[in-house]
């Protein structure tokens, strides 16, 4: 798997067929995702993003399946 770098900022983050957000920033190899405004509470909870007041959420490395030129793909099941 590719390590997350600053070049991944701005990429879409997808889970299955759903875009869950966009990489807002990368700090020390961790991508922080700004959730898609239409993301439901259920999907956010499945992703472990419980504090809805936060603006960005960190991606856990074990959730990432693939990093392409355009997007970061997550596991489809929690």
Which mean pLDDT values do the consecutive 10-residue runs of the chain (78 residues) have?
84 93 92 86 75 77 92 86
Note the pLDDT of residue 2: 55
Residue listed under structure tokens 């970061």: 72
Question: For the stretch 1-25, what's the b/e string if a residue is b when 16 or more beta carbons lie within 10 angstroms of its beta carbon?
Answer: eeebeeebeebbbbbeeeebbbbee
Note the pLDDT of residue 66: 93
Note the pLDDT of residue 49: 75
User: Smallest Cα–Cα separation from 34: which of 19, 15, 16, 46?
Assistant: 19
Note the pLDDT of residue 78: 58
Range 6-74: architecture per CATH:
Roll (2.30)
0.75 exceeded by the pTM? yes
Longest Cα pair distance anywhere in the chain, in angstroms?
31
- For residues 3 and 28, give the distance between their C-alpha atoms in angstroms, rounded to a whole number: 10
Note the pLDDT of residue 51: 63
**So where are the chain's domains?**
6-74
């Amino acid at each position: 798997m590719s390590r997350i770098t600053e070049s991944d900022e701005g990429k879409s983050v997808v889970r299955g067929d759903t875009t869950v957000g966009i990489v807002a920033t990368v700090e020390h190899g961790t991508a922080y995702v700004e959730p898609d405004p239409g993301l439901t509470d259920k999907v956010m909870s499945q992703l472990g993003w419980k504090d809805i007041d936060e603006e960005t959420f960190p991606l856990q490395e074990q959730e990432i399946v693939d990093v392409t030129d355009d997007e970061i793909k997550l596991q489809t099941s929690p």
